Amino acid sequence: MNLKEFKQAGHWPTLLSAFLYFDVSFMVWVMLGPLSLYITKDLELPVGEKFTIVAIPILSGAVFRIILGSLSDHLGPKLTGILAQLLVILGLAYVFVFGLHSKLEVELLGLLLGIAGASFAVALPQASRWYPPKFQGIVMGIAGAGNMGVVLDSMIVPWLAERFGWQAVFGFLLIPLVLVLLIYAVLVKDAPDKRAPVSLANYAAVLKDPDSWWFMFFYSITFGGFVGLGNALPLYFTNWYHVSGIAAGLMVAVVVFAGSMFRPVGGFLADRIGGIRALQFLFIIVSLSYLAISFMPEGPVAPQQTGGAKVAGWGLMALPPVAWVAVAIFFVGTLALGMGNGSVFQLVPLRFRKEIGVVTGLVGCAGGVGGFFLAKTLGVSWEMQHGFALGFSVFAALPLLGLFGLMVVKKRWRTTWGAVSGAQV
């Protein structure tokens, strides 16, 4: 890739701002993952309900992605992004001041956090529209790498909750949100190619195209797996390997770091060898990772000494070896999931260039639905068998179905729209 040509091809302040907006929004969207360890402990909720709570923001984000995608075409991406950020800031400020006192209030918070998750439907098309087809993989990878916000969440939120209490965490998160809102408002510029407002008829037309359903399915596997694990793993590690809240957060940070940082690599790889070929390889890795995790035994119970921790258990330096093996397997799996995200969105703009806002909303929605079902399935698995083997076995099968789907469509894609796209497919 010619770096000078890439810099001249689009508008880098918008690309940077889209990345920052998605980064802090993703951080807020998945904050209930690590924070649920503390909130649900105070509310004395059973494990199954804890998995439901961390799944709600994912499903809410899926729905709001369609809404924000439509608003982005009607009001413009910049104004839509600003309004969405303001709503999230007001919601977090309310919880910081008044707290949460019931399961219902936590669920309502989860619904609000979905607006932050919907930033995907604004930030990615906003960056994409500035760049030609040959740079779509790397551009969408850079903008989408904002999902590294889950890494920051996992590292920082448990430590803040232990030290200052979980309610104070909302106040701390307001700081980066406000700063990024100011940067976004100043630097972002909507692309000159104006889009006609999207109607329900536009969504209906896109949904009649079978390619849109394939992309939605593929993304429900890759992004759904990433965000579902990002939210559910703190609960998994504390219940299956009996680690402390801080240790669970750091373990999750290591795992999701791979998926966040390698999303642009997936886009770059897809630009070079084609998104179809990249996804075929990555789906195999994801399936094998889930399958391996389903056979992992439960870790030993931690000693009773808590050291005053609010969520006690094994510390990071005292983790049993089986827990480190699980981290390594998850690391490989989320690396493939992150690269798969970049690969899917190398293909989407090539196939649906004119309908990118609509399709991004639909595909992003499918990714959120996939993440919701992953987290929810793990909760159901725990309630049924006091373990997670069933849940991970189900999701080991989905990438194999994705692989079959790619075999079905690859010849048609490469000989139709792929042949005239000007990029590797």
Closest CA relative to residue 114, chosen from 395, 373, 369, 374: 369
Query: For 28, how many CA atoms within 13 A lie in the half-sphere containing its CB?
Result: 38
Per-residue pLDDT for 96 more than 70?
yes
Does the structure show a pLDDT above 80 at 146? no
* β-pair partners for 243: 314
- Flag whether pLDDT at 187 surpasses 70: yes
Confidence tier at 195 by pLDDT (50, 70, 90): low
Residue 1 has pLDDT above 60, yes or no: no
In this prediction, residues 264-285 reach a mean pLDDT of 91
What average pLDDT does the chain have?
88
Q: Map out the domains of the chain with their CATH numbers.
A: 13-187+196-419 (1.20.1250.20)
Q: What is residue 138's predicted lDDT score, i.e. its pLDDT?
A: 73
Outline where 241-353 has alpha helix (H): 245-261, 263-273, 275-294, 321-351
For the whole model, what pTM was predicted? 0.87
Q: Which amino acid is at 352?
A: F
Please check whether residue 347 is in contact with residue 215, taking contact to mean a CB–CB distance below 8 angstroms.
Answer: yes
**pLDDT value at residue 9:** 67
Mean pLDDT confidence for 315-333? 95
Range of weakest confidence among 288-292, 307-311, 385-389: 307-311
Q: If pLDDT is split at 50, 70 and 90, which confidence band does 304 have?
A: low
What mean pLDDT is predicted for residues 377-393? 94
Average pLDDT over residues 171-189: 93
Q: Which residue has the higher pLDDT, 164 or 305?
A: 164
Residue type, 151: V
Q: Among the listed ranges 23-27, 199-203, 297-301, 342-346, which one has the minimum average pLDDT value?
A: 199-203
H helix or E strand, kind and range, residue 296: none
pLDDT value of position 6: 62
pLDDT of residue 345: 85
Phi, psi of 198 (to 5 degrees): -90, 135
